[in-house]
Chain A
Amino acid sequence: MAGLATTFGSGAMTNSIAEIGRAEVILVIGSNTTEAHPQVARRIFDALDRGSKLIVIDPRRTALARQAHIHLQHRPGTDIPLLNCLMRLILDDNLHDDVFIEMRTENFNQLRDMLFRLDPREKAAVANVPLSRIKQAAELYGRASKAVICYCLGITQHICGTDNVQSIANLAMLTGNVEKADTGVDPLRGQNNVQGACDMGALPGVFPGYQAVGDIIIREKFARAWQTELPARPGLTLLEMTHSQGKTIKGMFIMGENPLLSDPTLARVRDTLEKLEFLAVSDIFLTETAELAHVVFPAASFAEKTGTFTNSERRVQMVRQAIKPPGQCRTDSDIISALSRRLGYEMNYESTAEIMEEIALLTPVYGGMYHDRLESSWGLQWPCFDRRHPGTEFLHKYNFARGRGCFVPAAHQLPGEQPDREYPFLLMTGRVYHHYHTAAMTRACARLNRESPEALLEINPVDAGSLSLVAGEMVKLATRRGSIKLKILISEQVAEGMLYTSFHFTEAPVNLLTNASSDPKSKCPEYKICAAQVEKII
């Protein structure tokens, strides 16, 4: 988010999902799209059926990588040297877009100077990918008239996540693959509404619509509407809260999150939550986090409420109540309003449509979004400034949101932790198709749980051989922060020296092991890399 916001002026996906199906070349980096975003993967398949070319950059040989025309299986954490090498080869072949760079961007010289100073062979060696393969990718992407880049958490969940994103933006601008239909840079957002949560200001430094808390005019606008004083200081980021261990935070209200499975270095999260004077959790199931709470609010599920979700392509869609909430369950907005009333601030909305009207009033990019407009359609894509505005299919048409796109060169940074003699493996974490985040919902579904009943540790056959492990064996997986037991899956999906597992399972909570180092700008934790050892259980 932070990376694209600096470069383009907006952190959201620039394209619509349907545009991906019409691109000539699709570059997927750090995304296991078929498992994590199947509805985006379908557009990639559509494009392949139409003859488009697919480049996948991923340390694992995923199902999508097997479909790719070029798969660059690089070493985790070397995205920046790899992308810089790719850009250098594009420059060498004169495949960059002079006119675009001249008319729409700034700071190109700095990037060019950096690229000309680097040695492609050396960078290829750092990334552990043959230079000839990178060259093929550079030619394919550089020559395309319409190219799209999709990326996901494999890019952002690194100590250099923001720089990774900026390198991707550099590549797109270098070749003029932004600002036009069927070209762009697409961070694939997880969950049905993570984009919506960000849009509504569920970030430490902004009000709804990415309006800065620090801006006095903005703050006064919101203060007038809400008839209350608002703090000028941005809030805390995730780990500043869940790793605070009693230092700063005394009470927490957690809604629809399960940090006791999802946040890195779980021991610190548990310590933090246990030290709280008061913890309230609202969720549809009693999660690991909810079990620690003093008060639990049973929340209504998606099918039990009316409102909107905003998906990855900035599309705001209505969801209508299909069934009544069971028992004492109440919708999230109901819970918040009731709480607020008891705390002495009257929140009184007759319907969620009224809340939407307030959003439209205060949030320029949502200015034309009203329930009556959303009801009879497949939704509207922001920015949508007023009632007559048709919504926006792709961002940055004619010019970037910030004016000119800014090249921000980035240099390689070592991950927070590197394999060594004691912890010789590099452990990556991710998700599986059948489970959703901390699996509070999906593990309650018998069929999904049957499909994927337990955590599996992917290990290369060579490594399994040298540790004399056999298929399906239980092993002890340890890092400097702890250990868990889980079953191995011997698979060529991971390269030698690499391990991969998912964080869905409370029986094998891999976030006990992950590292808490995080990107200094976005504060996103480095879930994708830590040093680990595998031990046979005797």
Chain B
Amino acid sequence: MNGFILKKDNLVPLLRKLRKGGRLVAPVQNRHGDTMFTAIEDFDRQHIDLKNQAQASLKPFFFPQEEPLYTYQNKKGYDFKPVNSSEPTIFFGLRSCDLTAILYMDVIFSQKSPDPFYFERRREAVLISLGCSRPFANCFCNNSRSGPFLEYGFDLQFTDLGHCFFVEADRARGEELLERWSCYFTPATEEDCRNKYQVVLEARSSFKQTVHVDQAIKKLTADIDLESIWKELSSRCQDCGGCAYICPTCTCFTIVDQPVDDTHGTRLRQWDSCTFAGFTRMAGGHNPVDYADHAIRRRFLHKLKTDVEKHGRPSCVGCGRCVGICFGGVDMIRFIKMVNELPAEEGK
């Protein structure tokens, strides 16, 4: 593997150069102390924060909470015009879980026919990730096999070696950047490579959460009886939808038409969530899902069972954001622990 070294002093100068090629998005701490992925307008006034986890993932940049898909006009029959709001963007400082989530969304949005709106943005994105040498409080990506460092999928991956960054490329776009801005990089020595592996090893052993995802998946695949868990968690679920909105891999949406007047309007795509009763309620009022007891059943089974069967891996990336956001304590860590505490039984 060809690694390179970037001095920390050169980070901002490099990003300044990269920004000339498109919008630059990085985790920025705002004046209220919250770290969010933000477009950088001014390096002197916006503080790039590589110490804290960004509160939201990059999902909204590829799949916005609400996006206009088409404008329509009704003269003699409807005439739809697609809306294009994509622009070339360099994403810097995303974490391994965020990147894994994007790779998962690539799969979801390419089923049957690729989603043009998603892939327009995806094609114009350069992804520069930063491996996590110090995992955050609720992270368990080592257990969900989506971090703390990745082997593939990134354009460039940065590793913090203390005094400098170790930089490696996986995809052609990353290689191009290294070549174009080679003046900022020096080839990594063998010692640098050893240091990098040391950081990776130490990171793996410094997680604060131990969540046995694979064990839970095994139990779920064996179809054990989970009724008590659904009941307990559903009665604690407050139906706010926060878990689905914050989750980097929840991609359910609904489409609504917003009329401007009698003949014009906009067709919008908005996030939706399977935890909402209105998600499955039928026109006559019947709901095939009993939300009193099963409000969160589909969410957890989709992540840990359906996706394992369909795509060979769970769609929980272990970012821990649902743990922080849920005020009923109905989060992935609790669910997995509850499943693992159930006595093992024979498959039905």
User: Hey, which bits of chain A sit against chain B, CB under 8 A?
Assistant: 34, 38-39, 41-42, 45-46, 49, 63, 66-67, 433-434, 446-447, 450-451, 453, 472, 487
Contact = CB atoms under 8 A, between A and B. Distances in A.
Interface residues of B, number: 17
B344 to A, nearest CB: 25
Contacts, number: 44
Nearest to A34: B238
A453 to B, nearest CB: 8
Contact of A66 (B235, B276, B277): B235
B327 A472 contact: no
B328 A472 contact: no
Nearest to B276: A451
Interface string B226-245: 00000000011011100000
B250 to A, nearest CB: 15
6 contacts: A34-B238, A38-B327, A67-B235, A433-B239, A453-B278, A472-B286
B329 A45 contact: yes
B329 A41 contact: no
B77 interface: no
A38 B236 CA distance: 10
Contacts of B327: 38-39, 41-42, 45
A453 B282 CA distance: 12
A45 B328 contact: yes
A433 B285 CA distance: 18
B67 to A, nearest CB: 16
Contacts of A41: 238, 327-328
A42 B239 contact: no
Contacts of B238: 34, 38, 41, 433
A508 to B, nearest CB: 15
Nearest to B232: A67
Given A42-B328, A66-B235, A472-B286, 14 more contacts: A34-B328, A41-B238, A41-B327, A42-B327, A63-B292, A67-B235, A433-B239, A447-B270, A447-B276, A450-B276, A451-B239, A451-B276, A472-B284, A472-B285
B172 interface: no
Nearest to B328: A45
Contacts of B276: 447, 450-451
A446 B329 CA distance: 27
B256 interface: yes
Nearest to B334: A49
A390 to B, nearest CB: 21
A63 B285 contact: no
Contacts of B277: 451
Nearest to B284: A472
Nearest 3 pairs of A and B residues by beta carbon: A42-B327, A450-B278, A63-B235
Nearest to B292: A63
Interface string B323-346: 000011100000000000000000
Given A49-B329, A487-B285, A67 B256 contact: no
A288 B236 CA distance: 35
A67 B238 CA distance: 13
Contacts of B240: 38
Contacts of A67: 235-236
Nearest to A63: B235
Contacts of A447: 270, 276, 278
B256 A446 contact: yes
A63 B238 CA distance: 10
A45 B285 CA distance: 31
A178 B164 CA distance: 57
A46 B256 CA distance: 38
Contacts of A46: 329
Interface string B270-291: 1000001110000011100000
A231 to B, nearest CB: 44
Contacts of A45: 236, 327-329
Contacts of A38: 238, 240, 327-328
A195 B60 CA distance: 37
Contacts of B292: 63
Contacts of A42: 327-329
Interface in B194-247: 235-236, 238-240
A67 B240 CA distance: 19
A206 B308 CA distance: 64
A34 B278 CA distance: 19
Contacts of B270: 447
Contacts of A446: 256
Contacts of B286: 472
A433 B278 CA distance: 14
Contacts of B278: 447, 450-451, 453
Q: Which of B240, B277, B278, B285 has the most CB of A within 10 A?
A: B278
Contacts of A451: 239, 276-278
Nearest to A35: B238
Nearest to B286: A472
A469 to B, nearest CB: 14
B63 to A, nearest CB: 17
A141 B236 CA distance: 23
Nearest to A39: B327
B75 to A, nearest CB: 27
Nearest to A472: B285
Nearest to B326: A42
A72 B235 CA distance: 18
Nearest to B241: A447
A38 B270 CA distance: 25
B78 to A, nearest CB: 21
Q: Which of B235, B236, B286, B328 has the most CB of A within 10 A?
A: B236
Interface string B137-167: 0000000000000000000000000000000
A279 B327 CA distance: 42
A291 to B, nearest CB: 24
Interface in B170-184: none
Contacts of A433: 238-239
Contacts of B284: 472
Contacts of A66: 235
Contacts of A450: 276, 278
Nearest to A448: B278
Contacts of A49: 329
A9 to B, nearest CB: 33
Contacts of B328: 34, 38, 41-42, 45
A458 to B, nearest CB: 12
A42 B331 CA distance: 13
A321 to B, nearest CB: 15
A39 B276 CA distance: 19
Contacts of A487: 285
Q: Which of B238, B240, B270, B286 has the most CB of A within 10 A?
A: B238
Contacts of B239: 433-434, 451
